Structure 1
Amino acid sequence: MKKIQTKIRNHKSLRLFPVYFLIFFFLTDITAQTSTISFKADKVTAAVAENKKSTNLIGNAEVKVDSLTISADRIEIFGKDYRYVNATGSVKGEDTEKGYSFKADLINFDRKTDTVTMFGKLELKDTKNDVSITSENIEYKKKQEIIIMRFNVKIINKDINCNSMFALYNRKESKVELTGSPVVKKGKDEFRAGKISVNLDTEDITLDGRVRGSVEQGKEEKEEEKPNV
């Protein structure tokens, strides 16, 4: 709340401070049984009508929901019990407890289903499993730890590179399923199929439907295959 206080200069603005304080108190209090939410910004506006409750955070906006912190140029919190959090403009997020961070042009966060949907130029880093993801649309189901990716998907883990139109990543099992012209490269080896499944822990790759691939033969293997003269 310090940022808001520094912006209050005249008596007219000063009268608005209790409103900001009450909004902050209300947001943190009503969610005590499920999750805790707090915020800060350069400017805060609010609509308190029963059917249209919303809070708009403008300029250096930041919202914290439990261990997830979201920052953006503008953030709107709205819906029954302030269920939804929408952020636009240089959006960044980090969950230190769950071990991931992201960047996006726009995100929608449904606190009831615990789902974060991201749009635009996206980057997501799973620091727990050392996985980097880029895509045009990402839906992260936090409770199940399932990440659904759509359009121009790229996943990198160690020396494994995955490219496809669609993908599903199970963080708990460390498994990826790729569809939509998937291509997986592991070192100098390349695999193509209708569907490709990758276990990032064991580095096992499973191919289904119209399988194609190329495997680089090691120098030692080539020497072993030479016939004795």
Structure 2
Amino acid sequence: MSSLASMPNILHILICGFILYVLFQICKFVYRKIQERRILKRMAKSGIRYIDRMDGHQFEVYLKALFRELGYRPEVTKQSNDFGADLVLKGKNRIVIQAKRYGMKNRVGIRAVQEIYAAQAYYKAHEAWVVTNSVYTKQAKELAEACHVKLIDRVELQKLINKVNPEISAQDMYHGVDPAERKCPVCKHQLVIRNSNKTGNKFVGCSQYPTCTHTEPIHNRGNASILENSYAKNKM
């Protein structure tokens, strides 16, 4: 009799447990959707999609404009013999920055931290930063913490852009500044920027076309949505 009497209690516990589980999953789903909306809103406002389309030179010029609006006097270093720094910010403190415009599948590694740490000594800077539209490896984060190098990743960059709300947008910079000049790897003539008649997107082509038909994308965009979704999951 006692076992039969306890059956309703067990059934009640199971039903309550199932209801709680369902409610938890619903809350988790709703929270994730809210996070995704926030991410998409932040992305749209910051123009990060256009930063993803930039090459390294365009990214450096954009950061120069961004930090100027923060009150710094930024200088872009020479492309060769830059001693590890792409930008030098002059103001109350001198800051050296290495800019890493990477494809979504690439993470910024330990070498960037090593180079900017060395650049800090060379330029006699007070601080050393690495700024990227991507993310950092675990080793890069550990070394940066030990060397007091500031790392600004994709999320922090978007927050900074949205906070500053620069007069020149990432979209304006992408369309207004040409990528760095390069030589064709096939014929060694100059590569130029062309527009696709089909898609309207920019691509790099040889100046000797149609004699040389070499083309390549301006950058490796990868899959941005994968990275954005990973941020949403990490916030859970």
Q: TM-score range by the shorter chain?
A: under 0.3
TM-score (norm 1): 0.21
Structure ranking higher in strand proportion: 1
TM-score, normalised via structure 2 length: 0.21
Higher RCO, 1 or 2 (CA under 8 Å, sep at least 6)? 2
Higher helix share: 2
